[in-house]
Each structure stands twice: as C-alpha cells, then as structure tokens.
Amino acid sequence: MRRKVAGNLIWMLADRGLQVAVGIVLVGMLARALGVDGFAHFQYAQSLVFIAASIPLICSAEVVVPRLVALPSTEAKHTLVAHAFAIRLTAGIAGYALMCLWLSITQQPADTWIPAAILGTAIMMREPFGVVIASMQARTHNQPNVVFNLIGLSAKAGLITALFLAGSGRVPAYAAAFAVEPLIVATLLSWYYLSRAPGGVPPHSPSLTRDLVRDGALFWLSFMLMVAARRTDQLILKPAVSLAELGTYAATMQVLDNFTTIATILAAGVAPMYVFAQPSSDAARRNIMRVAGGLTVIGLCGAIMLALCSEWLVHLLYGQAFAETIGLLRLAAFASALVFADVGLSLLPVYLRKPRWVAMKWAVVLVTTLVIDLIAVPQFGARGAVLGYATANAFAVAFGLWLVLRSDTVSAK
C-alpha cells in the first residue's frame, strides 16, 4: 500500500513540476511575442478567468473523494460522480456568465474581452470534467490524469511555439492556444471515465445534490477567498496605472507564482508521512512547525537568489522591454518567502479538518490586500501592489502562527 501511495505521489509531483517548468518557458515566449501592453491585456484576462474559475469549485475534491472511498458499489459511485459533474458544470456556466458580465460592466476593450472570452471556456471544462480526477484520487491512481495533462500541455506548447516562431503578436491567437489544453484534457477524461463507467445516466437525486452543495460550501468559500486574494491586485491596478506598468507587475507575479509553487510541491511531498500520518495532534503540530521552518529557509534562500539574479532572469524570460520588472522582482522576492512559511503552517487546519480556519485566513488576507492596495496603488502604482502582496503574506503567516498557538492551548485544556 505504501509503495502504491508513494508511486501515485511521485506521478502527481512530476506532473506539477513539469507543468511549472514548461509554463515558465511558455510565459517567456508570450511576453516577448506580445510586448508589455499585449502581455498586460493577456494577464488581466487570465486573472479574470482565474477568479471566475473558483465558482465551479463548489463541489470540490475534499467533498467528493472521501464519499467515493466510502461508497461500496460502482453504481453508487457513478451516481455521485454524475451529480458532482452536474453541479460543477452548472456553476461553471454561471462563472463564465458572471465573467462576461464583469467585462461588459467595466467596458473592457476588445484586446481584453476577446482573450478573456476564449480563455474563459476553461471555466466550463477544468473543474466539471475534473470530477473524473477525483474518482482517480479515490482509487489512488493518478497516472492516467498525468498522461492526459502531458498530452494537453504538449499540444499547447506546440501551438504557442509555432505562433512564436511565426512572429505572431495577436493576443486572441495565443489565448486560443491556451484554451486547447483544457479542451483536450476534458475530452480524454470523458473518454477514460465513460469507457469504464456503468451505462446510462443515473436518476437525479435532489437530496444528494443538496448534500454535496452544503458539505462543499465552506471549502468553496475558502477557495474563492484565496483566488480573490491572489488576483484582486491586478484588477485594482488596471484602471490606476498604465498598461506598461501593469505588464511589468504581471510579469513579476508570474515569476513569483512559479517560484512559490515549489512550496506547495514540497509540502505535498512531506505532509502525508510527517504530518497526516501522525497519531497525535502534538506530534503533528511539532512536525508542522518543522516543515514550516524548513520551507521558510528554502523560501529565503530562493528569494535571495531571485533578487541577485533578477536582471539576468528578466532579460532571459521577458527581454529588454520588461526592464522595469527587475526592480519590482527584487522588492517582491523577499515577500514571497512568507508564502513558503504560510504553506507549511496551512497544514494544521488540513490535519485537524478545520476548513473554517482556512476560510478565516483567506478572508483576512483578502481584506488586507484590498485595504493596502486601495490606499497604496493610487500613490505608488505597482510598488503599492507589491506592498499589499507583502503585507497580506505577513498577515497570513501571523494568522497561521496564531492558529498553532491556539490549537496548542485548546489541546492543553
């Protein structure tokens, strides 16, 4: 069993690591092809899609996977998967409609709403068809999903490379290349599941639908708050600064997003054995602090390297047109080390199964980001957004430490 779990985890980590590595290269091509202004339009559209894509998370894997594991029959599991798919698809359609409504209300230019409309098709594909991934997780068998992701990633990378080599600078063309990946993955997941599932569409059960929505509501709220906290900065920046400044900030955050993903990968690698497998909360808490400390050291070392190599890195990835990104990256690099500490500390509410704590944390982070950005961005532009990023990360770490101390006090009583 341990060998099966370890092998499945290796597949998951390899998938995520390759996604990050290829993503860095593709973003570099994108930035060079589109220029600062075009890149700003594209990243703003992606931020809108990212926020809208949190809406289909209403019936997340945290709710579906444990239920699938507990169900005894294949027919019952098929019924659950079908209901979860229907909920996610309905939410995905609603998310796409709300994104289009935002584009209309804010009167975004065609350079923004066309790529957003194309990229937004992923809202109706990733999470709805991702319910098949949940069924794989329930069986500890993620290998097919990794293979499907690699096929989709290869198609996207091939199309973007072809556009780049052809000298294309059209934002919608690159958006279409990005949209191909979730379409391919959704198609392959559908084929995989339907070729193995019991025939026929199960009858609708209103009570099961209500249970899934109710049980997933708190996780859904947490995910939406997290996504909003991480992307609201660009929504605030766009009307307050020039497109060039928004583009340099988006480039900075793109580097940091890929860098901080390392923390998630490392935490996912060590948490099952060193945290979740611990029989007592005291032992788990001690290990969580060790993991958080180790991740913080790794984050600081990486931040120092990013700051020292920022000029070389920006020129390598984005080119001379993004020279202003160098200073922003040096400022924001050290703030990103706080994300590593936060990822480690976030293992506690997961271990204790306290999604309410996660929702509280992201609510604090979102409010902090909004307050700081609304005050600092009009005065300092992109540097004000970096200040909001740093302050929000600091509050997240402080909140995590408070939870550790609070849980220790509760245990002592």
**Residue range 355-369, pLDDT digits in tens:** 788 889 999 999 999
Taking phi over 0 as left and psi of -120 to 50 as alpha, with beta for the rest, 35 belongs to left
Model pLDDT, residue 7: 61
Read off the pLDDT of residues 94-129 as tens digits, 9 standing for 90 and up.
999 999 999 999 888 888 899 999 999 999 999 999
Give CA torsion, residues 362, 364, 368, 374, to 10 deg.
80
Extents of the domains making up the chain: 1-202, 241-413
Cβ atoms within 10 Å, residue 2: 9
Question: Helix count (H) and strand count (E) of the chain?
Answer: 15, 0
168: amino acid identity, one letter: S
| CA gyration radius, the chain | 21
Is the separation of the CB atoms in 373 and 247 below 8 Å?
no
Measured CA to CA, the distance from residue 50 to residue 59 in angstroms comes to 17
Name the residue with tokens 């063309």: 173
Model pLDDT, residue 396: 94
Model pLDDT, residue 28: 87
Higher-scoring residue by pLDDT: 374, 222: 374
Q: Can you state the angle between helices 74-105 and 61-70, rounded to 10 degrees?
A: 170
70: amino acid identity, one letter: A
Kindly report which listed range (8-12, 233-237, 403-407) carries the lowest average pLDDT score: 8-12
Cβ atoms within 10 Å, residue 202: 16
Q: Indicate if the pLDDT at residue 10 is higher than 90.
A: no
String of b and e for 111-128 (b: at least 16 CB within 10 Å)?
Answer: bbbbbbbbbbbbbbbbbb
Model pLDDT, residue 413: 43
Model pLDDT, residue 272: 67
Measured CA to CA, the distance from residue 62 to residue 32 in angstroms comes to 39
What's the mean pLDDT when you consider all of the chain?
87
The model's confidence at residue 223, banded by pLDDT at 50, 70 and 90, is confident
Measured CA to CA, the distance from residue 304 to residue 310 in angstroms comes to 10
Read off the pLDDT of residues 173-190 as tens digits, 9 standing for 90 and up.
999 999 999 999 999 999
Q: Indicate if the pLDDT at residue 29 is higher than 60.
A: yes
Model pLDDT, residue 11: 65
- Per-residue pLDDT, averaged over 304-314, amounts to 92
Read off the pLDDT of residues 198-219 as tens digits, 9 standing for 90 and up.
877 888 889 999 988 988 888 8
Model pLDDT, residue 148: 92
Q: Indicate if the pLDDT at residue 317 is higher than 90.
A: no
Higher-scoring residue by pLDDT: 275, 46: 46
Give the C-alpha distances (Å, rounded to integers) separating 67 from 31, 73, 133, 234, 399: 43, 12, 14, 37, 31
- Of 298, 303, 330, the C-alpha closest to 314 is 330
Name the residue with tokens 């709710």: 63
389: amino acid identity, one letter: Y
How long a stretch of residues is the chain?
413
Read off the pLDDT of residues 251-287 as tens digits, 9 standing for 90 and up.
999 899 888 988 887 887 677 677 877 788 888 888 8
Measured CA to CA, the distance from residue 101 to residue 386 in angstroms comes to 29
Measured CA to CA, the distance from residue 237 to residue 400 in angstroms comes to 28
- Of 190, 198, 173, the C-alpha closest to 73 is 198
The model's confidence at residue 401, banded by pLDDT at 50, 70 and 90, is very high
Is the separation of the CB atoms in 48 and 101 below 8 Å?
no
Model pLDDT, residue 412: 44
